[in-house]
Structure formats: C-alpha cells, structure tokens
Chains A and B, each alone.
Chain A
Amino acid sequence: MIGMAGNRGLMGSYGVVVALMLVILFGWLRYDNFLSPFNVMSVLRYNSMFALVALGMCFVIMTEGIDLSVGANAAMSSVVAAHASHYGLVPGLAAGVGAGLVVGLLNGLIVTRLKIMPFIATLATMLAAGGMALLLSGNQSIPVSYATSFTWLGQGNLFGLPVPALIAAVAYVIGSVILNRTSAGRTVLAIGGNEEATRMMGLPVERTLMVTYIACGGLAGLAGVILAAQFGAGQPIEGKGWELFAIASVVVGGTLLTGGVGSVGATLAGVLLLGVLFTILNFENGKGWISLSAYWQSVIRGFFLLVVVLFQARLARKHAAQPAVSAT
C-alpha cells in the first residue's frame, strides 16, 4: 500500500523536476548571466533557509501533520542566535538551534500528549514563538557579532560554495537517507498512511511523531541561525509566512497533505522552483521590457502553486482510474 502511494508521489515529483529544469532553461536562454556563478551562488545562499524549513515541514506533512510554527520559530531562533553570537560561532549556532528544538519539543508534546490537532497545536506555538521573538528582542532587530566568526554561517564559502547551501545539502542527504533507508522513515510514512493501523502494528507512533516535530523545530532554528548570520541581525518579525511558503514548496514537490507519501528531493526541487521564479522576475525587470514590481512575486508564486496543484489533481484522478497499473 505504501509502495503504491509512494509511486504516486513519485509521479508528482517528476513533474516538479521537469518544471524546474524548464524554468532554468528558460532563464538560461533568455538572460545573460542567469547561470553565472554569482547568480547561482546567491540563489542557493538565499533559498537555503527556506530549504531547511521545507525539509522539516515535509517530514511533518508525511505524518499527516502540519507545522505552522516554523516561521515564528525561525524568527525567534534568529534573535536567540544573534544574542549568543557574541560568544562565538558554536554558541550562536547551538543557541539558535536549541531554541528551535524547544519549540519543536513543545509541538511534539502538545500533539502526542494532549492529542490536539497539529494545525491548532502549532498555530498556538506560532503565536507563542512570535511573542517570544518580540520579547527577547525588545521589538527590534538584534545585530550579530562581527568580532566572532558567526557570520561565516550565512555569508561564508567553503570549497567555493556558500556555507548555508552546504548545510542545507547535508540536511537533505540525511533526510533522504532517513526517509528511504531507515525504519524511522518507514514509520513516518506509515503514520501518515494510517496512524491507528501503525499503532496496532506495534510501531512507535508517539516517539516517531515527537522526533519528527522536534527535528522540524530544530531545522527551523537552524534556518533562523542562517537568517541572522546572513543578514547580520536577529530578525524578530522576519519569518512571517515562511510556514506557508514551506507548505507550498512541499506541495509543489508532490508530497500530499494527506500524509503517507512524500519525497525529500522533490521538496528541494519545489523550494528551488519557487526561488528561481523570483530570480526570473528580477532578471525580467532588468531587461527593461516590462517593469513588474516586487509585488508580482507573490502573484506569480500563487499562480504557479495553482497550476501545479491543478496538475496534481488531474494526475491523482487519472491514477485513481487505473490503480492496478502502477502498484509495484
């Protein structure tokens, strides 16, 4: 059953990879310097934050949950990291990720112990984390220390690649291995497929859910650390709407919100697709043919989400019409 469902997710994920390649091809043909190292690096550097948040969201959604708190969590963690950055790179990183883990732990406890729907549970922690971000920062952005090497996490390069992009890449490799090669990954998908049945099979449902929410919180915290390091300040009101951007990336990547299906790689493609679209808009403005304000960004993203979702709906219906064919 999982195999069949996974196959359907895979069909969706081919779509997003093809779309991403088409968009990149379009940009390459149309604009000079589109694939210049500088542009590629800055796209990767900027979108690595969203990639980390979307990775955690992907796992949560595969359990048929949702985490609305990631944006506020990242904002709060960026403030904590900025405060701690004066003690150095490692303390800044640890404090930011730690703050994220605490929010994740809270989410996990509310979902598994109080048994409150993830949507409501994380809606509440989103408010709480947003409030904490403002309290910890006194309603203003907190400059990070430039005396320590903390900003390297956001602005530095390693092997000629942006550090945040490398961090995101490592996270995705680990995420992919966990999902595809470990029993924990199987359990995540099984919970999303049918939670009650998974429990009856004796799989550790509560523990897996806990770990999933904690990991999602930690990844949001890591994104917050990179946010602070990249822009030189902890940003208490950044991160608004990140959760929905992350959900959109996951959905564009073919992961179904009903859980039980998902692809880590396609989620990354979804993040890049939405990110590259924004870059294309900038390049198009640079050509001078049209002048679209930055506000078009969200209109185009919304439209793109619509197209992908409609495409997936058609795919799912076709699939439902002939279930035997792809059941491998």
Chain B
Amino acid sequence: MAAGSRPSQKPDRPIYAFLDRYATLIVLVLLILLNIAITPNFLSVQTLNVNLTQVCTIVIVAVGMTLVIATGGIDLSVGSLMAIAGALAPMIFMGKIFGIEHVGLAVGLAIILSVAVAGALGAFNGWLVATFHIQPIVATLVLFIAGRGIAQVMTNGNLQVFSVPEFQFIGLGRILGLPFQVIIMAVVVVWAAWMLRRTVFGRQILAIGGNEKAAELAGVPVGRVKIAVYAISGLLAGIAGLIVIAINSASDANLVGLGMELDAIAAVAVGGTLLSGGRASIWGTLLGALTIQIVRYTLLANGVPDAAAMVVKAAIIIAAVWIQRKARAS
C-alpha cells in the first residue's frame, strides 16, 4: 500500500512547498470567490447553512478517519457503523426494545446506547488490528460487509419513520442561531486538533504512524492506542449516523452512511494527511471536506448533474494529492 513515495525524485521548486502548505486553503478560497462571481445568492445565510449542515457528518466521520490514518491504518467500516447506530436509536426511543414512558429518558438512552455500540464495534476493529496484526483494510472490511447487514437484519430492511422533536434536535435544532450539528462538528474538530497536538495520546498516535517499531521500543502502548483510535472512529461514526437520521426524520439501514468511508478518506487525503501515517492535520481534513462540499455545491447550483460532479471530485482528489506529493519530494 505504501508504494507512493519514491526517493529518486528530482528536487522541485519551492513553489510546491508553499502550495503543499496552503493548497487546500487556496483552492477553497478560489472556489468561494468563483461562487461569489457566478452562483446567484451565494453570499447568503441560507447557502452557508445548507453547506454547513451537509458537510457536518462528513467532517465528524473524517476526523475519526484522520486519527486512524495517522496511526497508519484505515477504517472502511464507518458507513456501516453509521447504519447500525442509525438503526438502533429509533428502535430504542420508539419503544421497540425497552418500554420507557419518559421521552427524554428514552431519547437519552437511545443516543448513548447506539453511539456506545458503534464505539464498541470500532474497538473491535482496533482489537483485530492490534492483537492479531490483521491489516486495517482487511480488519475493517469485515464490519464494512457485515455491519450494514446487521443494521438491515435489525430493521428487516424496513424504513423507520419517526417524529420525535427531542431526538431530532441533534439534526434540526439550533442554539444561538447555529444548527446543533454544526456545534457538534466544531466541538469534535477543536477537541481532536487539541488532542493531537497537546496530549500524550496525540503524540503516541503520530509516533505509531511514523514508525511503529520505534514507538513500541520507546514504550508507547501501541495496542491500546490503536484500539482507542478505532473506538473513537466508531463513536464519531455513530454520532454522524444519528445526525443523518435526525435530519431525515427516518432511518433507512440500506442508505444511512452509504459510501461515507470514501468521502471521509477523500476529505482526509485532500486535507494533506499522509495516508501512510505519521503526519496528520485535523484542520486540513476540515478544509478538505469543505472543499469537496463546495465543489459539489458549485456544480449543483449551476445546473451540472451530480454525476458530472463525481468526475470533477475525482480530478480534485488527484490534483490535491499530486501537489502534496510533489511538495514533499522537494
């Protein structure tokens, strides 16, 4: 998998180093300027709201993905874990599992339990990776395949429709005019950025991704850190799953989180985090997700079909990763 970097590179001009550092930000700013010029009503609160609410779940999942990738791993199961959390929560607050009268209690329990289950399944991924030394892509492939099936079996593939304002606050509610899920996203991003820079745990994550053997010899509890990182990825996927179903007022195990793993990985890659681990940027991931979102919005708002947007997204991923690779080779 690590066939990307080759030492036999000609030195490049310093322009690439500058581009590497700020490429995503520059692209994002250019896109916004382009939109101000061509997209009608781009500079409106509504546009901002639409884009922020759409990008939230990708960012939340991508933050977990960034941490996993920073250890040199990958998590393909996030979309399936979203589906499981999204299937489980309505079953609890609609009283299919426990008969709880009090709405607040039922909703609270639904949120905590379903996110905890997603976290536990994430820890299971980490356990496979850490204990059996199974390659992360294979270890998480297990739950990628089985996870959605579990969610479908739980609901028998049926759509769960609900109208529970207390629960849907996490997707539709506002605090001080800000959508609640944007606040969740902000908290997750700030926490992860702080954790990665300022805590021992964050240092350990990067150390493992940089050189696992060396980290182990230096006394880093490699296994425990890995399990924790995959568990965090699972927890965040669970939260994202709940936000998705809260927005939709419905949970469809066939669709919740479908393809999310690829969106999240794309956001991480465009954001400049090395896929081989050892270097990570949470802010980069945020910018990466925003860039992909704005590209999609720009194309859609100007009447370009979603299918063509996918092709453009592909070109942007390649361009962003290529610039970063160039920069690092210099």
Contact = CB atoms under 8 A, between A and B. Distances in A.
Contacts of A251: 138, 141
Given A124-B314, A131-B307, A293 B153 contact: yes
A134 B307 contact: yes
A64 B325 CA distance: 19
Contacts, number: 168
B153 A64 contact: no
A295 B3 contact: no
A257 B310 contact: no
B133 interface: yes
A110 B318 contact: yes
Contact of A116 (B137, B138, B322): B322
A110 B156 CA distance: 42
A131 B314 contact: yes
Nearest to A134: B307
A120 interface: yes
Given A65-B3, A302-B145, A313-B134, A123 B156 contact: no
A303 to B, nearest CB: 6
Interface string B146-185: 1111101100110000000000000000000000000000
B260 interface: no
B327 to A, nearest CB: 13
A42 interface: no
A298 B313 CA distance: 29
Contact of A120 (B141, B145, B305, B321): B321
A253 to B, nearest CB: 12
**A: interface residue count bin:** 35 or more
A68 B259 CA distance: 12
A63 B1 CA distance: 9
Given A247-B141, A309-B139, A127 B314 contact: yes
A196 B144 CA distance: 33
B263 to A, nearest CB: 10
B309 interface: yes
B315 interface: yes
B321 A244 contact: no
Contacts of A196: 6-7
Contacts of A126: 262, 314
Contacts of B307: 130-135, 139
A139 B306 CA distance: 10
B241 to A, nearest CB: 17
A169 B71 CA distance: 41
Interface string B125-143: 0001000111101110111
**B: interface residue count bin:** 35 or more
A310 B322 contact: no
A295 B322 contact: no
Given A114-B322, A302-B143, A313 B315 contact: no
Interface string A161-191: 0000000000000000000000000000000
A31 B3 CA distance: 47
B244 to A, nearest CB: 18
Interface string A53-68: 0000000000111101
B311 interface: yes
A306 B142 contact: yes
B275 A120 contact: yes
A258 interface: yes
A293 B1 contact: no
Q: Which of B6, B146, B314 has the most CB of A within 10 A?
A: B314
A309 B7 CA distance: 33
A131 B317 contact: no
B34 interface: no
Interface in B99-146: 128, 132-135, 137-139, 141-146
A245 B142 CA distance: 10
A314 B313 CA distance: 41
A125 B313 CA distance: 10
B240 interface: no
Contacts of A293: 152-153, 156-157
A134 B311 CA distance: 11
A310 B269 CA distance: 30
Contacts of B128: 306, 309-310
A282 B314 CA distance: 39
Interface in A115-171: 115-121, 123-128, 130-135, 139
B200 interface: no
A120 B148 CA distance: 24
Contacts of B311: 127-128, 131-132, 135
B76 interface: yes
Contact of A305 (B135, B141, B150, B262): B141
A299 B3 contact: no
Q: Which of A68, A127, A130, A317 has the most CB of B within 10 A?
A: A127
A301 interface: yes
A120 B317 contact: yes
Nearest to B259: A240
B1 A299 contact: no
A293 B276 CA distance: 39
A131 B308 contact: yes
A301 B308 contact: no
A124 B319 CA distance: 10
A296 interface: yes
A272 interface: no
B265 A123 contact: yes
Nearest to B148: A298
Interface of B: 1-7, 74, 76, 128, 132-135, 137-139, 141-150, 152-153, 156-157, 262, 265-266, 269, 275-276, 305-311, 313-315, 317-318, 321-322, 325
Given A124-B313, A293-B157, A298-B145, 16 more contacts: A63-B3, A114-B322, A118-B1, A121-B318, A126-B262, A128-B315, A131-B308, A133-B307, A244-B145, A245-B145, A247-B138, A258-B135, A293-B152, A293-B156, A302-B142, A306-B146
5 contacts: A117-B1, A123-B266, A125-B314, A135-B305, A195-B3
